[in-house]
Amino acid sequence: MSNVARSRSRLCSGAIAALLLLFAACTAMPALAQWSWRDAAGNITYSDSPPPPSTPAKDILRQPGMREQLQQYAGTAPATDATAPVRPSGSLADQEADFRKRQLARERTEKKLAEEETQARQRDEACSRARGYQQVLNSGVPVLHPDPDGNHGYLGDEQRVRELQQAHEAIAKNC
């Protein structure tokens, strides 16, 4: 057999293998578009058309486009927290409502965390100011302080002791 004949033979066998692979892939595609559900008697039914409308969504085991979701839920317990994926409902309206609910819960959680972070930052700043004021009072440096009339005067010893006690209490209570 000549080299040309061998090349043609290899080319033909490669083309046949490719065609067989393409054929196998094409015949497997309809299997992805299959439905499966549990009927009223408890039997599992397979079909390329959707189940009857009287079939509850919980009894639909597989529908086209659910392959990833089925793999995700296979052998797992039902999700209980808001961040876990939710099993799709029977209708798009139910799925949309579930999505909105999860989105609202996530937004509320993010808002609460942001508020807590802001409060913690404000508390830290107030503690820092109180500690700084306590250090100034402890240092003995004269402190200029306004009186109730708006005039400025230096803190006396009694006022300094009261201010120092108030700063100490504020630090102990809030920091």
How high is the pLDDT of residue 44? 92
Domain boundaries, the chain: 33-76
pTM across the whole model: 0.40
| Amino acid residing at 103 | Q
The conformational region for residue 8 under phi > 0 = left, psi -120 to 50 = alpha, else beta, is alpha
β pairing state of 44-47 and 60-62: unpaired
How high is the pLDDT of residue 165? 92
In angstroms, rounded to a whole number, what is the distance separating the alpha carbons of residues 154 and 12? 104
pLDDT tens across 2-48, in order?
665 565 666 566 667 666 666 665 554 445 558 888 998 999 998 88
For the packed helices 92-139 and 157-174, what is the interaxial angle rounded to 10 degrees? 150
Mean confidence (pLDDT) of the chain: 78
Counting beta carbons within 10 angstroms of the beta carbon of residue 142, is it exposed (0 to 12), middle (13 to 18) or buried (19 or more)? exposed
How high is the pLDDT of residue 68? 46
Low-confidence ranges of the chain (pLDDT < 50): 28-30, 68, 76-84, 86
How high is the pLDDT of residue 79? 47
